[in-house]
């Protein structure tokens, strides 16, 4: 009986520690990705992103539309309110212990779509897709977009995944698909 309980406890410890480990990937911020992903020959993903609405999503939270909405709904400051940050800022939507270099100001950052990069961002891991996926990288699909492109957004517009993906595309021309 005693040894049975011990096995049960060991199993539980194993399962919960595994669960904790898989959550330890941290958000390093887009400046880290820029080091390798800003060369014209491989698609300069950082530049494309930095000129997109995603990178500028925090700016919208202080425009007239936001301020009018905030006034109507008793929100003191949309740029600090969790109900807006949860979709307009990657850093603003994850707990502090997972923020390792990422800033609120960078808005909807690489890691909202590709997963927290602390473990996969090394060259050796990045070059091996299976290894990158194991280390927290995500290949974004429609579900990833719909974490934010949904009706909780006070200014929701119908979301068409195929069209929206084209608008934000940043392919690497050296990679054969």
Q: 154 with 69: CB under 8 angstroms?
A: yes
Least Å distance, CB 16 to ligand HEC, is: 27
Alpha-carbon 147 to chain mean position: 10
CB neighbours of residue 70 within 10 Å: 18
Least Å distance, CB 27 to ligand HEC, is: 8
Cβ nearer to ligand HEC, comparing 7 with 65: 65
Q: Please name the residues in contact with 100: beta carbons below 8 A apart, sequence gap of 6 or more.
A: 26, 27, 28, 29, 118
Cβ nearer to ligand HEC, comparing 103 with 172: 172
Could you identify the residue written with the tokens 């600090």? 80
Least Å distance, CB 9 to ligand HEC, is: 37
d(Cα 109, Cα 151) in Å, to the nearest integer? 21
Cβ nearer to ligand HEC, comparing 87 with 99: 87
> Cα dihedral angle (16, 21, 22, 26), rounded to 10 degrees?
140
Cβ nearer to ligand HEC, comparing 2 with 71: 71
d(Cα 140, Cα 1) in Å, to the nearest integer? 48
Please report, as ranges, the residues that interact with ligand HEC according to CB under 6 A: 28, 30, 32-33, 35-37, 42, 45-46, 49, 53-54, 57, 60-61, 63, 65-66, 69-70, 75, 78, 83-84, 86-88, 108, 110-114, 117, 121-123, 126-127, 129, 132, 139-140, 144-145, 147-150, 152-157, 164-165, 167-168, 170-172, 175
Sign of CA dihedral 132, 133, 135, 138: positive
Least Å distance, CB 177 to ligand HEC, is: 7
Least Å distance, CB 132 to ligand HEC, is: 6
């Amino acid at each position: 009986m005693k040894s049975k309980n011990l096995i049960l406890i060991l199993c539980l410890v194993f399962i919960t520690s595994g669960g904790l480990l898989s959550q330890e990937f941290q958000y390093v911020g887009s400046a880290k990705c820029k080091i390798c992903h800003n060369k014209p020959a491989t698609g300069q993903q950082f530049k494309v992103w930095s000129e997109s609405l995603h990178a500028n999503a925090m700016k919208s939270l202080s425009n007239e539309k936001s301020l009018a909405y905030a006034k109507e709904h008793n929100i003191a400051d949309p740029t600090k309110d969790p109900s807006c940050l949860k979709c307009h800022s990657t850093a603003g939507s994850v707990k502090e212990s997972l923020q390792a270099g990422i800033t609120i100001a960078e808005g909807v950052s690489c890691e909202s779509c590709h997963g927290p990069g602390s473990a996969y961002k090394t060259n050796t891991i990045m070059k091996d897709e299976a290894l990158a996926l194991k280390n927290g990288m995500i290949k974004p699909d429609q579900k990833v977009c719909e974490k934010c492109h949904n009706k909780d957004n006070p200014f929701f517009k119908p979301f068409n995944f195929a069209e929206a993906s084209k608008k934000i595309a940043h392919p690497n021309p050296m990679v054969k698909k």
